[in-house]
Structure 1
Amino acid sequence: MSTALASATLAETPTAGAAAWTGLIGLAVAMGIGRFAFTPLLPLMQQDAGVSLVQGSWLATANYVGYLVGALICISSPPPPARAIQWGLVSIALFTLGMGLTHELSLWFALRFLAGAASAFVLVGVSAWAMPVFARLHQARRSGQVFAGVGVGICLAGLVGLVAGVTALGSQATWISLGVIAAVFALALWRQLASDGVRTTSAAGGRAPLTRQAWTAALCYGAFGYGYIIPATFLPALAREMIKDPAMFGWVWPVFGAAAAVSTVFAARLLPTFSSRRLWAYAQWVLASGVVAPVFAINLTTVLFAALCVGGTFMVITMAGIQEARRLGGAQSAPVVALYTAAFALGQIVGPLTVSMFHGGLLPSLLAALALAASSLTLGLTARASGATV
């Protein structure tokens, strides 16, 4: 009987390949659709639903706030990783479908808020579910495949938005299409996650408090969120001014997503040579150069350079940052990952507010680059105390 039980447990435990594909698809749906699909769909909503730029900004903020709330819930009451992924994906599918079934602005706010919260659950769940599998099987490079899912999802949502723009499909039908895609993938992953054989350490009862090093690194991760969101939010607007042809402009978001997907796979191969902390710090310097480039000249070259720097590093930093969170958190890494996610979400909220405070201009970009530089320096200065090297 013991042999049969061992065989059943082994069969239930996912292989590295199965965990990688499950994580990739989960993040593609959660981030590509639940978080970032709004960017390529906003022009369609402006055209056929009369959404103003101010309303679009508030809808994006509602998603950011939901992401923050979801992360805070994961800190206070960490959910079982597999269940967080399952119900998070189902929720994202439902909330995305809802966007195409109503014209009420108040309902849109609620749906974007809830989709943001569900996305945070999936990100924390995937990190806590897949990473231990790779560690146990000595397949750390597979983490690059998992985090490439974000870029894949962004590329998919961008292509759907491009087709919708060229064929005049309309924003309602496009939201419904993305909701159906999300539902199909959520159902496809349900069985894999239902037979979850991954053993995770319970956080109940004697959960250790977060260390000073974890809080410091989380602050650096929040600075990344602040520095990243300013170009990620306003580069499309600059590109729209430079590229007049809608069909050409429609390729900006898919290419951005493709760069994010490829960069994580490449960066994962560097992890045996570079520590996650070093990779994080170096990538932020590249991101900072992209943030500051349009300050010196606003033209198509600098916009494309900035897009390449942002698209090619933001998921590398996310992957390396979560790897560092797992290192600092050890067996109780889920709350640390959730803390990072909350810090990132808070930075995303503060970034656009800074732009509004200074009425646009160059100062917000300079502040974002300064925050990224300070974050990288802090990671280096505190490396020895955290037990890492940069």
Structure 2
Amino acid sequence: MHQAVSNPSAPAAFNVWRGTLAGASASLIGIGLARFAYTPLLPAIIGAHWFPASTAAYLGAANLGGYLAGALFAGAMARAAKPATVLRAMMLLATLAFVACAMPVSFLWFFVWRFASGLSGGALMVLAAPTILAHVPAARRGFASGGIFTGIGLGIAASGTIVPILLRQGLTATWLGLAVVSLLLTAVAWNGWPGHGAPAHAQAPSRFEHAKAYPRAKLRALFAEYGLNAVGLVPHMIFLVDYVARGLGRGVEAGAEFWVLYGIGAIVGPLVAGHLADRAGFGRALRVAYLVQAAAVAIPAAGFFGTPGLLVSAVLVGAFTPGIVPLVLGRVNELLAHHPSAVKDAWSRATTSFAVMQAVAAYGLSFVFSSSGGNYLVLFAIGAAALVLALSVDLFSALRAK
């Protein structure tokens, strides 16, 4: 029997728990803080006269533009340098962007650094999970991916809890506080990324496996479904709090309570979704997710179940805001089981599809809301219809394959 010490140059076995923690730290920085923490900061930025309301809105768009760029060019960055090096650099870039935003030097200065924070978020979203999951046995990928994307939910929850507390010390202190949190998370993740060795569970593909056709049609259907899912999430992400506060006349505090429930759902959602995928498979779990989301988004539109129905709707949609991510990534891995080198590119395309459709839906639904005289219910109806369409595309793709 050979002992591990007989070959000191062999790479150490990958620690799944440590890798999952590194991935969760990356998603917490790149998406949870860099994107969602800006939402409660925006009124404070306007109130402190850093930027006028019309200008501050463009700074949110800068982050989204950077996110798209990061998603598109993450693959090129990973080819130019080791994935672990790129991931560390992107986490440091996000941290530096928080520090830079503590000083309102000019609109251009702020725009560039908000773009940089989005760039880091897009790259981290595309690279972190596939880099880790390539070293995780298939039977544990649901758990690992769920743990990785829990970081997004933690960021959503932090946006409604930690940021308001930091704001009591002023805007500059808040940005620097976010930078400190980001730097600590970067340190936690620093040595958690996989090394040079091939995945311990990897096996050399057989000739039969090499001969497997590339599943282009199924991937295109998945990209379309993921984009439609993004549309379905937008009504709650943007309008839920306003609907409760102004649409139902319950006030800002009641709206904030629903956002806290949304955040609680976002924390547990990825873990529950990952567990479901480990039990049922990613394909089946995705169909369940589309169906549950469609029902949850439709509850406000239909006016069913009153306040309890709204509470359930907020928690479920909050859960799937980050919870849908590990399911789609897992499905990409399933479809490309015999083409592992194509996973990162496919995941980049899926992430881009989600980001583009989310942006289009945000602007489109805002236009619908304005044109309809402030009709919230039609927004939730559109979101539910998009999710039903996503389920239909998935079922049609499965039938076509058979």
Instruction: State the TM bucket, normalised to the shorter chain.
Output: 0.7 to 0.9
2:290 alignment partner AA: Q
- By how many angstroms is 1:178 displaced? 0.5
Q: Distance in 2 between matches of 1:267 and 1:107?
A: 39
The aligned counterpart of 1:199 is 198
**2:278 is paired with a residue of what secondary structure?**
coil
The aligned counterpart of 1:335 is 345
1:366 alignment partner AA: A
- By how many angstroms is 1:309 displaced? 2.4
The question of whether the paired residues in 2 share the 8 Å contact of 1:28 and 1:154 is answered with: no
- By how many angstroms is 1:296 displaced? 3.8
* Count of matched residue positions in the alignment of Structure 1 and Structure 2: 376
- By how many angstroms is 1:182 displaced? 0.5
**2:279 is paired with a residue of what secondary structure?**
coil
**Pair 1:386–1:135, CA change in 2 (3 A):** farther
Q: Distance in 2 between matches of 1:106 and 1:78?
A: 29
1:116 aligns with 2:118: yes
Q: Distance in 1 between matches of 2:138 and 2:285?
A: 22
The aligned counterpart of 1:106 is 108
- By how many angstroms is 1:92 displaced? 0.8
- By how many angstroms is 1:43 displaced? 2.8
**Pair 1:335–1:49, CA change in 2 (3 A):** same
**Pair 1:285–1:9, CA change in 2 (3 A):** same
The aligned counterpart of 1:82 is 84
The aligned counterpart of 1:233 is 238
The question of whether the paired residues in 1 share the 8 Å contact of 2:133 and 2:141 is answered with: no
The aligned counterpart of 2:266 is 260
Deviations 1:74-114 (A, max 9, x none): 35665443223211111111112222221533333222222
Q: Distance in 1 between matches of 2:265 and 2:356?
A: 25
Deviations 1:165-188 (A, max 9, x none): 5xx322332122111210222133
- By how many angstroms is 1:355 displaced? 2.0
Q: Distance in 2 between matches of 1:265 and 1:345?
A: 22
**Pair 1:239–1:40, CA change in 2 (3 A):** farther
2:334 alignment partner AA: R
Instruction: Compute the TM-score of the two structures, normalised by the length of structure 1.
Output: 0.85
Q: 1:379 aligns with which of 394, 397, 400?
A: 394
- For structure 1, which segment, 2-11 or 116-125, has the greater mean C-alpha deviation from structure 2 after superposition? 2-11
Q: Distance in 2 between matches of 1:345 and 1:240?
A: 27
**Structure 1 unaligned blocks of 5 or more:** 202-207
The question of whether the paired residues in 1 share the 8 Å contact of 2:11 and 2:197 is answered with: no
Deviations 1:130-178 (A, max 9, x none): 112222685642322222121123223432223135xx32233212211
1:219 alignment partner AA: A
**Pair 1:160–1:132, CA change in 2 (3 A):** same
Whichever of the two has the greater Rg, that structure is 2
The question of whether the paired residues in 2 share the 8 Å contact of 1:223 and 1:375 is answered with: yes
The aligned counterpart of 1:274 is 280
CA RMSD, 1 decimal: 3.0
The question of whether the paired residues in 1 share the 8 Å contact of 2:259 and 2:314 is answered with: no
The aligned counterpart of 2:10 is 9
1:159 aligns with 2:161: yes
2:273 alignment partner AA: A
**Pair 1:68–1:48, CA change in 2 (3 A):** same
- For structure 1, which segment, 105-114 or 236-245, has the greater mean C-alpha deviation from structure 2 after superposition? 236-245
Q: 1:312 aligns with which of 315, 319, 324?
A: 319
- For structure 1, which segment, 263-272 or 378-387, has the greater mean C-alpha deviation from structure 2 after superposition? 378-387
Q: Distance in 2 between matches of 1:74 and 1:66?
A: 12
Instruction: Compute the TM-score of the two structures, normalised by the length of structure 2.
Output: 0.82
**Pair 1:4–1:273, CA change in 2 (3 A):** closer
The question of whether the paired residues in 2 share the 8 Å contact of 1:40 and 1:253 is answered with: no
Q: Distance in 1 between matches of 2:118 and 2:229?
A: 18
The aligned counterpart of 1:59 is 59
Q: Distance in 1 between matches of 2:6 and 2:60?
A: 49
Q: Distance in 2 between matches of 1:163 and 1:243?
A: 24
The aligned counterpart of 2:72 is 72
- By how many angstroms is 1:365 displaced? 3.2
- For structure 1, which segment, 25-34 or 41-50, has the greater mean C-alpha deviation from structure 2 after superposition? 41-50
The question of whether the paired residues in 2 share the 8 Å contact of 1:161 and 1:250 is answered with: no
1:141-156, aligned counterparts within 5 Å? 141-156=143-158
2:292 alignment partner AA: V
The aligned counterpart of 2:94 is 92
1:20-31, aligned counterparts within 5 Å? 20-31=20-31
The question of whether the paired residues in 2 share the 8 Å contact of 1:134 and 1:140 is answered with: no
Q: Distance in 2 between matches of 1:7 and 1:251?
A: 55
- By how many angstroms is 1:4 displaced? 5.2
The question of whether the paired residues in 2 share the 8 Å contact of 1:148 and 1:315 is answered with: yes
**Pair 1:297–1:251, CA change in 2 (3 A):** closer
The aligned counterpart of 2:48 is 48
The question of whether the paired residues in 1 share the 8 Å contact of 2:74 and 2:127 is answered with: no
The question of whether the paired residues in 1 share the 8 Å contact of 2:258 and 2:311 is answered with: no
Q: Distance in 1 between matches of 2:257 and 2:331?
A: 33
The aligned counterpart of 2:32 is 32
The question of whether the paired residues in 2 share the 8 Å contact of 1:287 and 1:314 is answered with: no
The question of whether the paired residues in 1 share the 8 Å contact of 2:264 and 2:315 is answered with: no
The question of whether the paired residues in 2 share the 8 Å contact of 1:16 and 1:137 is answered with: no
Q: Distance in 1 between matches of 2:274 and 2:326?
A: 8
